[in-house]
Structure 1
C-alpha cells in the first residue's frame, strides 16, 4: 500500500473516530440536528441509534488505524486487508445512506469518496 493510500486511510479512520465523538457525545446538540436530520423532540428517541452507530464508527476507525499500523510493524498483508475491508464497507455504507435518505447526499459522499480514494490508490 503506497504512502498516499496510507495517509488517506488514516484520514478515513480519524473521520470515523470524530463521528463516534459527535454521535455518542454530541448528537443532542442543536448545531448537529441538520447533520443527523433530527428534530429537537426526537433527540431522546434517536439516542440509542446514535450511540450504536457511533460505536460502529469507532470500531471501524480503530480497525483502519490498526491496519495502517500493521503495514509498518506487523503483517503488511493483514494490515492492507483490514484497511480495505474498512474502506469497502464505507463505500457501501455511503451508498446505503444515500439510497435510504437522499437529503444526506453530502454525508454519503463524505463517507464514500475518501474510502473509495483509498481503494483506488491501493490498487493503482
Structure 2
C-alpha cells in the first residue's frame, strides 16, 4: 500500500506540474483559456495572479516528489512527512476551491482526487 500511495502521490505531483504550466506559462493561450473558461480579456486581466498561483502548484509537486524520493531511498519518516505535506496541501486547496466556488466542482475534484487517494493509501499502509 505504501508503494501504491507513493506512486499516486507522484501522479498528483505531475498533475500539479501540468497545472503550473497552464497557469504560469500558457495562461493566455486559447487552449488554456478554454480549459478555464476564460475570455482573452479575463485571461490577460488575471495573468499575474495565475502566474503566482501556478508556482504554488509547482512547489507542492516538488515537495511531494522530494518526499517520495527520500521515502524510497532511506529516511521513510521524513519522506512520508514531506509527501503528506505536499498531497495534504493539494487536497486542502481542492477543498477550498470547492467551498469557495461550487461551480468549479469538476476542477476541485480533478485537483483533489489523486491527493486524496494517495493519503488514503499511505495511511492504510501505515496502519495495516
TM above 0.5, one fold?
yes
CA deviation profile, 1:1-35 (whole Å, cap 9, x unmatched) = 71110110110111111111111111101222243
Q: Runs of 4+ in structure 1 displaced over 3 angstroms?
A: none
* Match in the other structure for 1:43: 43
For normalisation by structure 2, the TM-score amounts to 0.90
1:67-110 Cα shifts (integer Å, max 9, x gaps): 00001224211110011111111211111111222221111001
Corresponding position of 1:11: 11
TM score, norm. by length of structure 1: 0.92
What is the alpha-carbon distance in structure 2 between the residues aligned to residue 59 and residue 23 of structure 1? 13
The corresponding residue for 2:120 is: 120
Count of paired positions = 124
Structure-2 separation of matches of 1:27 and 1:109: 21
Structure 2 unaligned runs (5+)?
none
Question: Paired residue for 1:98?
Answer: 98
Shift of 1:41: 1.2
Task: Look up the match of 1:20.
Answer: 20
Provide structure 1 residue ranges, at least 5 long, that are not aligned to the other structure.
none
